[in-house]
Amino acid sequence: MKRRTFLGNTLALATTGAALSTGLLAPQWAAAAGEASAASEASPSPFNLKALDEVLKSLNATDAKTSDAIKIKAPEIAENGAVVPVSISTTLAGVSTISLVVSNNPNPLAATFTLLEGTSPDVTTRIKMAKTAEVIAIVQAADGVHIAKQNIKVTLGGCGG
Amino acid sequence: MPSIKLRAKALEGGLIEVKALMTHPMETGLRKDSAGELVPAHFISEVIVTANDKEVMKANWGGSISKNPYMAFTYKGAVGDKLKLTWKDTKGGTDSGELVVA
């Protein structure tokens, strides 16, 4: 994220710089500008991120506290990784989003549920799991981000290939 | 064949339980077919559920959600609410289903 901001800033500087400076410098700036715009097009969605750290960062969950108030209901052993039922519920107050992350999947972020007024902080879905992994529930509550984890053993991976 | 199965049930305490099953391949874009070719990504990326035209749930999904995705949640509502579920996928496809809570 920081790198992108940096590139963005460089780009802004570059545009003004190029306008003011000599023709000799211009091609260099132009090349830098092209690179920056390609980078911002390539990764707009946290669902495309591959590294668990980056996913947690995109959800502001890097330093989130583990909370007992979040309950993950899922099997301890999943025979078929293609269909693993997972429920996440919490007693935390003022929940706005519940995200579901699978630590060992190629794209770890599986889902973000946005709860609107009157919706209970209790969601169920079914996920794919490439292999044995931790399922991480990330809850944005009124007093900050909380997380909970559960390990699920997968005997048959669900991502094909 | 409709691609969405929508069910709703009134629970105690003025809560409505919504269950939805959608028909969709949910291709991650990482899987290879039998010929060894990558199958392009094609999955539902957004689901919105409204009750009487007011949003009650918005879900953003990645390719890690199972094929023919299922989701369930509860919201504060009443019998007679008009529910509508709309999904959009990564190839620009969309579909919606409606139900009156009975």
Delimit the domains of chain A by residue range. 2-42, 49-154
Considering only alpha carbons, which residue of chain A is nearest residue B33?
A161
Report the residue from B31, B45, B55 with minimal CB separation from A161: B31
CB contact under 8 A, B74 and A119: yes
Residue A68 scores a pLDDT above 90: yes
3 state SS of A38:
helix
CB contact under 8 A, B62 and A109: yes
CB contact under 8 A, A114 and B70: no
Domains along chain B with CATH numbers? 4-100 (2.60.40.10)
Query: CA triplet A137, A159, A49: central angle to 5 degrees?
Result: 55
pLDDT tens, position by position, B3-46: 899 999 999 999 999 999 999 999 999 988 899 999 999 999 99
Q: Which CATH class is domain A49-154?
A: mainly beta
pLDDT tens, position by position, A38-58: 444 444 589 999 999 999 999
Lookup result for tokens 């519940």 = A98
Poorest-pLDDT segment among A45-49, A110-114, A145-149, B44-48 = A45-49
Report the residue from B63, B72, B76 with minimal CB separation from A107: B63
- 0.90 surpassed by complex ipTM: yes
A161 touches chain B (CB under 8 A): yes
Nearest to B71 by CA among B7, B3, B25: B7
